[in-house]
Amino acid sequence: MAAKKWGLAGTPLAPPAPPAVKPHLTTRKGFEVEGGDASLPPVFTTVPTDKKIVFLTMDDGDDKDPELLKMMSELNIPYSAFLSDYLVRDDYAYFKEAQVRGVVLGNHTLNHRYLPGLSHDEQTREICDQQDIIEQQYGERPRLFRPPYGNYNGDTLRIAKSCGITAVPLWAAEAFPDRMEWREEDQDLHPGDIILTHFRGKKDWKGSMPDMIRNVMKVITDKGYAVARLEDYV
């Protein structure tokens, strides 16, 4: 019913029950930082699992389409938000509404700067001040952090850890209203892949946020995958 109402090509597949124990996460090969060790938050693009599930994540917070919130609730599709305060602060209430509907709000920095180009103090402000703002506005301190553009260095991970971050999920594919962009050479989904998309609309894209969801859900469902809740696994 909901799939038809929202114009989806097929009914989304239901994910399996969350695991009793979360998988052990490690940093993806080639994504390590100099001087890093296993005590730093792991950086990964795929969550270890043998289930045909993927995770949806939405970044930044520029477009605040009320239809998106309704659509995702009615379709019962989980997703996680990674917020950058400079785009969110004109309407904290929109993301409160998302949170009330079950979306976990993660950290995507204050101003979306290129972190490896910043001093230690500037990175601390970008990451840890955003931790404080999200906690003040939404009552929960993020555990998950995604650096802008996926760029980070050793300072980034050490600072993130110091203010409460336990994991750094990047992405294996990016969704747009009219296409996918893949990280892996096989241009395909894999169990546990994290999919990135953005709170964007027709100003930046060839379509709205619901158009983007229709497109990415067709890809996911056609390939036999279900969308699971990232925070159940990470």
Query: For binding to Zn ion (CB under 5 A), which residues are involved?
Result: 59-60, 148
Measured CA to CA, the distance from residue 175 to residue 156 in angstroms comes to: 26
Is-contact 54 78, C-beta < 8 A?
A: no
1 alpha-carbon distance from chain centroid: 27
Q: Which is nearer to Zn ion, 83 or 213 (CB)?
A: 83
For the bound state, the minimum distance from the C-beta of residue 169 to Zn ion, rounded and expressed in Å, comes to 13
For the bound state, the minimum distance from the C-beta of residue 221 to Zn ion, rounded and expressed in Å, comes to 26
Q: If we measure between CA atoms, which residue out of 46, 91, 45, 47 comes closest to residue 69?
A: 91
Q: Which is nearer to Zn ion, 135 or 174 (CB)?
A: 174
Token pair in block for residue 203: 């100003």
Residue 114 contacts by C-beta under 8 Å, 6 or more apart in sequence? 148, 149, 151
Sequence-ordered strand ranges (E) for 17-161:
43-44, 53-60, 80-83, 104-107
Q: Which is nearer to Zn ion, 176 or 225 (CB)?
A: 176
For the bound state, the minimum distance from the C-beta of residue 64 to Zn ion, rounded and expressed in Å, comes to 15
Q: Which is nearer to Zn ion, 12 or 147 (CB)?
A: 147
Measured between its terminal Cα atoms, the distance across the chain in Å is 31
Q: Which is nearer to Zn ion, 59 or 85 (CB)?
A: 59
Q: Which is nearer to Zn ion, 53 or 160 (CB)?
A: 160
Pairing of strands 180-182, 173-175: antiparallel
Residue of closest CB approach to Zn ion: 59
For the bound state, the minimum distance from the C-beta of residue 130 to Zn ion, rounded and expressed in Å, comes to 12
For the bound state, the minimum distance from the C-beta of residue 112 to Zn ion, rounded and expressed in Å, comes to 6
Measured CA to CA, the distance from residue 52 to residue 50 in angstroms comes to: 7
For the bound state, the minimum distance from the C-beta of residue 82 to Zn ion, rounded and expressed in Å, comes to 7
